Amino acid sequence: LLLAWTNGDRDALEDLIPVVYGELRRIAVRYFRHERPDQTLQATALVHEAYFKLIGQDHARWQNRAQFFGVAAQLMRRILVDHARERAADKRGGGVRPVTLVDAIAASPARGIDVIALDEALARLTALYPEQGRLVELRYFGGLTIEETGEVLGISPATVKRQWAVARAWLLANLAREAAS
Amino acid sequence: VTAPAWADLEALFHEALARDSAERAAWLAERCAGRPDLRAQLEAMLRAHDGAAASPSSHQSALR
């Protein structure tokens, strides 16, 4: 299946989604299990680990790599948000502590960013500016670099960088407004 | 209220960043004359940006 996809069969991508999702979840659960109170989670590490596990460096051509990361970012977002919701709902544990993602957005070192709040803010951004919403999803939940994001979106690294700075400020301002209201 | 076009936000945000904070407010007021929503949005974004840049660890991650 993976080889069919790397050989350019686009339908195979559709069939692959559950496989990628399963692998990402397995890896994520392992990270979650070792969660400490101050635990931070690197989306980058998870997505790249899944990539190497599923495809490896040898078979992948860049176009497929970009597609893989595009899909993985969406799936990773779902996994992280579900996990944060489960934790928030779990009253038996030692209190509610949202998983803190330390990746490119993190605004305040003391507080980090609540994944659920970020997911909602990103949904608001995406509703207004779909392309930039996608960019944030790739960068933040997919943990992609500027260059990788540019490859997936078909835009230059300079454009990614420029839009990223604006989108990030938009999200932080939106989160601050929500927190204040 | 319609949201400002992304192109406007992007251009004005980066232009504002290129200015000294001292002259930024007056510059924004001029550029956003008659568009109070756009001005408020940009001011909030610039505050958020400066706030994030002010803390060293997040500054580092922001430049990743």
- pLDDT, residue A163, reads 97
- On the question of pLDDT at A160 being above 80, the answer is yes
Q: What DSSP state is assigned to residue A114?
A: B
Which amino acid appears at position A28 of this protein? A
pLDDT, tens only, A61-76: 445 677 778 888 888 8
Q: Say which residue, A28 or A90, is predicted with more confidence.
A: A28
> What is the C-alpha separation between A106 and A181, in angstroms, rounded?
21
The pLDDT confidence band at residue A18, using thresholds 50, 70 and 90, is: confident
Which amino acid appears at position B46 of this protein? L
Is A117 an interface residue toward B (CB < 8 Å)? no
**If DSSP codes are grouped into helix, strand and coil, which group holds residue A122?**
helix
Which helix (H) or strand (E) covers residue A100, if one does?
strand A100-101
- pLDDT, residue A9, reads 60
Would you put residue A159 in left (φ > 0), alpha (ψ -120 to 50) or beta?
alpha
DSSP lists the bridge partners of residue A114 as: A100
Does B13 sit within 8 Å of A165, measured CB to CB? yes
Q: Say which of A102, A163, A176 has its CB closest to residue B61.
A: A102
Q: What DSSP state is assigned to residue B3?
A: P
Residues A84-88, mean pLDDT to the nearest whole number:
75
Is A155 an interface residue toward B (CB < 8 Å)? no
- On the question of pLDDT at A113 being above 50, the answer is yes
- pLDDT, residue A4, reads 61
Write down the pTM of the prediction: 0.75
- pLDDT, residue A51, reads 74
The pLDDT confidence band at residue A140, using thresholds 50, 70 and 90, is: confident
DSSP lists the bridge partners of residue B29 as: none
User: What b/e string do you get for B25-59 counting C-beta neighbours within 10 Å, with b at 16 or more?
Assistant: eebbeebbeeeeebbebbbbbbebbebbeebeebe
Is A107 an interface residue toward B (CB < 8 Å)? yes
Is B18 an interface residue toward A (CB < 8 Å)? no
Is A177 an interface residue toward B (CB < 8 Å)? yes
Chain A residue with CA closest to B44: the answer is A173
Q: What is the ipTM of this complex?
A: 0.84
> Which residues of chain B lie closer than 8 angstroms to A172, CB-CB?
45, 48-49, 51-52
Is B51 an interface residue toward A (CB < 8 Å)? yes
Minimum distance, in Å, between the CA of residue B17 and any CA atom of chain A: 11
Residue A164 vs residues A82, A140, A148, B63: alpha-carbon distances, Å:
25, 10, 13, 11
First to last CA, chain B: 35
Contact criterion met (CB below 8 Å) for A27 and A46: yes
**If DSSP codes are grouped into helix, strand and coil, which group holds residue A107?**
coil
Residues A115-131, mean pLDDT to the nearest whole number:
93
> What is the C-alpha separation between A18 and A75, in angstroms, rounded?
9
Nearest Cα to A73, choosing from A125, A128, A17, A29? A17
Q: For A52, phi and psi rounded to 5 degrees? A: -70, -35
The pLDDT confidence band at residue A98, using thresholds 50, 70 and 90, is: very low
> Which residues of chain A lie closer than 8 angstroms to B6, CB-CB?
128-129, 131-132
Regions of chain B where pLDDT drops below 70: 1, 53-64
Residues A26-41, mean pLDDT to the nearest whole number:
61
**If DSSP codes are grouped into helix, strand and coil, which group holds residue A72?**
helix
Q: Say which residue, A118 or A59, is predicted with more confidence.
A: A118
- Write down the mean pLDDT value for chain A: 74
Residues A15-32, mean pLDDT to the nearest whole number:
76
